């Protein structure tokens, strides 16, 4: 298969629009940028299209897909009645990086929900994502555009690495600004439960006078199902280790490790911030951003992991991020990428 590549301006071209629509309706796959990460899209009611996503990503079939639409009316076409607080969430955070898990109507195929009776729905805010769904005129399932287990793609180049000539169409929309996947919130009960943290945070929801819980706060016998969470995610090729503790101790520890690995002929990479990147003279140190700027850190996380892969780094040490409103979302991804491998230096 030869992938057709379009740029943002091409979406105004009638022939390109027809190609995108026809491809999706006939069960093909189109990758497009969203504000969170790039998504690999298929017509939600096309068995062929959905199968294509699972196959090309290598995604386990019980990990459900999020359905993307462009209006709240469309959400209601596919989901059952919901509590009144759900309306408030929709009105405040859509279009945007929030997915709501709602009770599904029968029209939603079990294939996209991993057999659950609920479905994740999102109205994306990115103009290209909206345009693609409008062109298709149908709901589009769009999980992150990465081979399963790999870091999500936030750059066109990273989409190409995983999917060139494996999908019908890729749309180049530059960098996905948010850089972390949507906040997934289960709203099938009296109070919302955050299944996956993101840049729509618990605090932001509480500001609307809505009581919200995090997955880990829920009684284990009553844990909402989020099948995707049990799988390995975001993993770089090298071994990622998070180092936590006082900054100076962390820097010394990492420099010691760099020496040990270098002696064995192994390459070490360091994920640090702007203010510390000069403290690792003999390693491949990447600044993920300014320590004060959590938007920047979130936005650069996945591309930094992929950058380490490009340089064939064997061991990657990352500082941990405990400051700022996105720290939970950032650490959630980083911990999974590291397979929960954390060195705690505090005594
Ligand atoms: P991705 O599309 O790759 O960002 O992954 C979608 C995430 O949403 C996964 O963690 C899924 O487990 C979660 N998700 C999607 N639909 C549901 C659902 N109906 N119930 C619970 N979690 C869901
Ligand atoms: Mg994903």
The domains of the chain, with CATH numbers, are 4-214 (3.90.870.10), 239-344 (3.40.50.11030)
What confidence tens digit (pLDDT) does each residue in 41-77 have? 999 999 999 999 999 999 999 899 999 999 999 999 9
- Per-residue confidence (pLDDT) for residue 345, from 0 to 100: 96
pLDDT of residue 181: 97
Q: What is the whole-number distance in angstroms between the Cα of residue 258 and the centre of ligand 2?
A: 31
C-alpha distances (whole Å) from 200 to each of 36, 151, 212, 225, 320 are 11, 20, 12, 20, 21
pLDDT at 207 over 60: yes
pLDDT value at residue 74: 97
Distance 95 CA to ligand 1 centre (A): 18
Contact 158, 234 (CB under 8 A): no
Least confident of 69-78, 210-219, 325-334: 210-219
Mean pLDDT, the chain, rounded, equals 94
pLDDT of amino acid 79: 98
- Cβ of 63 closer than 6 Å to ligand 1, yes or no, is yes
Q: How many CA atoms lie within 13 A of 81 on its CB side?
A: 2
Cα of 245 vs centre of ligand 2, distance in Å, is 29
pLDDT at 318: 98
* pLDDT of the residue at 224: 47
| Tokens 């005594």, located at residue | 347
Q: How confident is the model at residue 308 (pLDDT cuts 50, 70, 90)?
A: very high
Residue 215 has pLDDT above 60, yes or no: yes
| Residue 261 to residue 209: CA distance in whole angstroms | 51
Question: What is the per-residue pLDDT across 81-98, written as a single tens digit (0 to 9) for each?
Answer: 999 999 999 999 999 999
Distance between CA atoms of residues 113 and 225, nearest Å:
11
- Per residue in 134-143, is it b (16+ CB within 10 Å) or e — as a string? ebbebbbbbb
Which ligand is closest in space to the CA of residue 332? 1
The pLDDT assigned to 217 comes to: 74
Calculate ∠ Cα 95-98-103, nearest 5°. Answer: 105
**What's the mean pLDDT in 152-173?**
98
pLDDT value for 12: 97
Token output for 263: 């002696």
Atom of ligand 1 nearest to the CA of 39: 2
Q: Is 271's pLDDT higher than 80?
A: yes
pLDDT digits (tens, 9 = 90+) for 218-267: 755 554 456 666 677 899 999 999 999 999 999 999 999 999 999 999 99
Probe target for ligand 1 pocket from 59, 65, 148, 231, with the most ligand atoms within 8 Å of CB: 65
Q: Which residues pair with 239 in a beta bridge?
A: 315
Query: How confident is the model at residue 221, as a pLDDT?
Result: 52
Distance of CA 285 to the CA centre of its chain: 24
- Give the model's pLDDT for residue 232: 73
């Amino acid at each position: 298969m030869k992938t057709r590549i379009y740029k943002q301006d091409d979406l105004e071209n009638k022939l390109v629009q027809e190609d995108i629509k026809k491809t999706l309706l006939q069960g093909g796959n189109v990758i497009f940028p969203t504000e969170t990460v790039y998504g690999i899209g298929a017509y939600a009611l096309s068995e062929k299209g959905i199968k294509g996503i699972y196959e090309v990503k290598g995604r386990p079939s019980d990990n459900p897909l999020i359905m993307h639409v462009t209006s709240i009316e469309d959400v209601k076409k596919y989901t059952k009645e919901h509590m009144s607080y759900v309306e408030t969430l929709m009105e405040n955070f859509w279009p945007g990086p929030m997915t709501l898990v709602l009770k599904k109507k029968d029209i939603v195929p079990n294939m996209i929900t991993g057999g659950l009776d609920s479905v994740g729905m999102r109205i994306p805010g990115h103009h290209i994502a909206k345009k693609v769904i409008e062109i298709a005129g149908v709901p589009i399932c769009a999980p992150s555009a990465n081979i399963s287990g790999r870091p999500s793609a936030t750059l066109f180049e990273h989409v190409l690495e995983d999917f060139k000539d494996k999908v019908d169409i890729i749309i180049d929309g530059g960098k996905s600004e948010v850089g972390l996947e949507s906040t997934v919130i289960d709203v099938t009960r009296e109070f919302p439960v955050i299944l996956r943290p993101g840049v729509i945070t618990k605090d932001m929801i509480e500001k609307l006078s809505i009581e919200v819980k995090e997955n880990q706060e829920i009684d284990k016998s009553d844990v909402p199902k989020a099948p995707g969470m049990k799988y390995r995610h975001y993993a770089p090729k090298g071994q990622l280790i998070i180092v936590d503790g006082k900054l100076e101790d962390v820097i010394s520890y990492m420099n010691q490790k760099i020496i040990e690995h270098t002696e064995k002929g192994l390459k070490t990479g360091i994920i640090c911030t702007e203010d510390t990147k000069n403290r690792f003279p003999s390693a491949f140190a990447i600044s993920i951003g300014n320590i004060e700027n959590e938007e920047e850190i979130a936005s650069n996380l996945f591309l930094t992991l992929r950058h380490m892969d490009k340089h064939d780094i064997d061991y990657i040490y990352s500082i941990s991020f405990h400051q700022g409103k996105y720290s939970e979302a950032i650490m959630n991804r980083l911990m999974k990428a590291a397979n929960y491998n954390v060195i705690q230096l505090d005594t």
